[in-house]
Amino acid sequence: MLQFTDLHLFAEPGHELFGLATRHTFEAVVERARARHWPPDAILFTGDLVHDERREGYRYLRRFADSLGVPYFCIPGNHDHTPLLAAEIDAGANEPFRVERVGPWDLVLLDSTVEGSDGGRLPPDALTGLHHHLSINDGRPTMVCLHHHPVAVGSRWMDTMRVENGAALLALVEQHSQLRSILWGHVHQPFDRHHGQARLLATPSTCVQFAPGHRDFAVNEQPPGYRWLELHADGRINTGIELVQMACTERGSQAVENPLIA
């Protein structure tokens, strides 16, 4: 399986974010994936897909994703217009809780977005649905996928925008041994930790990256990337990050005005 996250596409093909043309970086990342990790069982797009939230951007992504010839699923981010995402690409993106089966694994896709906020929260019905699903499917390893991070990643400004009730999600890890991973986007940087038997994973953006460990908003020179995952029937996960060096201006780690805050 492959994860692409935080595409920040625009309706106009050449529009840039922090000096990067986001369609160009996205297509370069997918090209690398097709050379290194292809074909995947599925592709997961974990939110912030179309930065300006316009129909043309979603239609471009639908055409591009369809051309890849593999199953794909979309989760909305705080920079998405969820009704348009559902109408143009993936009808299931409107659901706060859904389950997709990929090989021997269950992927539980949760909508962590809150209207009018850059932070996240899981609705009670989604947590109840997850608990029920885990209770009746204890024989299948499960991965929970969402946009926002349920745990602090060590950047003060970014950690103000994590899942407010992330502790409730982590409590389910402790109750259900088949919950083997939680995977998210939003943070524009890699993250790989364990909570009990579950692996907590975040992935770089297909465009600009955030400098880790900063008190205030800052970007750095790290290139775009994606995550590949091998999900084994016994619950083991092999995974890694693939970065794609781009011909772009070196930025270093620098504090700049943040256009990603709504």
pLDDT per position as a tens digit, 130-146: 999 999 998 899 999 99
Mean pLDDT across the chain, nearest whole number? 94
Calpha distance 49→3 (Å, rounded): 12
Predicted pLDDT of residue 250: 43
* CATH number of the domain within which 154 lies: 3.60.21.10
Q: Is 196 domain-assigned? A: yes
The kind and range of the H/E element at 174 are: helix 166-175
CA 227 to chain centre: 10
Rounded Cα gap, residues 173 and 134, in angstroms:
10
- 242-255: average pLDDT: 64
pLDDT given for residue 258 in this prediction? 57
Give the model confidence (pLDDT) of 195-212 as tens digits.
999 999 999 999 999 999
| Whole-Å CA distances, 115 to 90, 120, 212 | 19, 9, 26
Q: What CA–CA distance (Å, rounded) separates 90 from 160?
A: 29
In the predicted structure, residue 252 carries a pLDDT above the cut 60: no
Q: Which domain holds residue 242?
A: 2-255
- Is 237 part of any domain? yes
Is the C-alpha dihedral spanning 166, 112, 236, 6 positive or negative? negative
Task: Examine residue 104 and say whether the peptide bond preceding it is cis (omega within 30 degrees of 0).
Answer: no
Q: Is residue 262 domain-resident? A: no
What DSSP letter does each residue of 82-114 carry, written as one string?
HHHHHHHT-GGGG-SEEEEEETTEEEEEE--B-
Q: Where is pLDDT greater, at 19 or 60?
A: 60
Neighbours of 86 (CB within 10 A): 18
Please report the pLDDT score of residue 233 as a whole number: 96
Residue listed under structure tokens 């809150």: 114
DSSP 133: H
- The answer to whether position 99 is within a domain reads yes
What is the predicted pLDDT for the residue at 92? Answer: 96
Kindly tell me if the per-residue pLDDT of 255 is higher than 90. no
Distance separating alpha carbons of residues 111 and 51, to the nearest angstrom: 17
Q: What is the pLDDT of residue 247?
A: 65
Q: Is the pLDDT of residue 221 over 90?
A: no
Report the range of poorest mean pLDDT among 62-66, 88-92, 218-222, 240-244: 218-222
Q: Please write the tens of the pLDDT for every residue from 187-199.
A: 999 999 999 999 9
> Does residue 261 fall inside a structural domain?
no
Average pLDDT value for residue range 90-97: 96
What does the pLDDT read at residue 138? 87
What is the structure's pLDDT at 139?
86
Residue 260 lies in a domain: no
What SS3 class is residue 185?
coil
Residues 70-75 have a mean pLDDT of: 98
Residue 65 has pLDDT above 60, yes or no: yes
Once rounded to an integer, what is the mean pLDDT over residues 12-40?
Answer: 96
Query: Looking at the 3D structure of the chain, how many domains does it have?
Result: 1
Q: Look at residue 246 in the predicted model and tell me its pLDDT.
A: 79
pLDDT in tens, 103-134: 999 999 999 999 999 999 999 999 999 999 99
Considering only residues 98 and 246, tell me which one the structure prediction assigns the higher pLDDT.
98
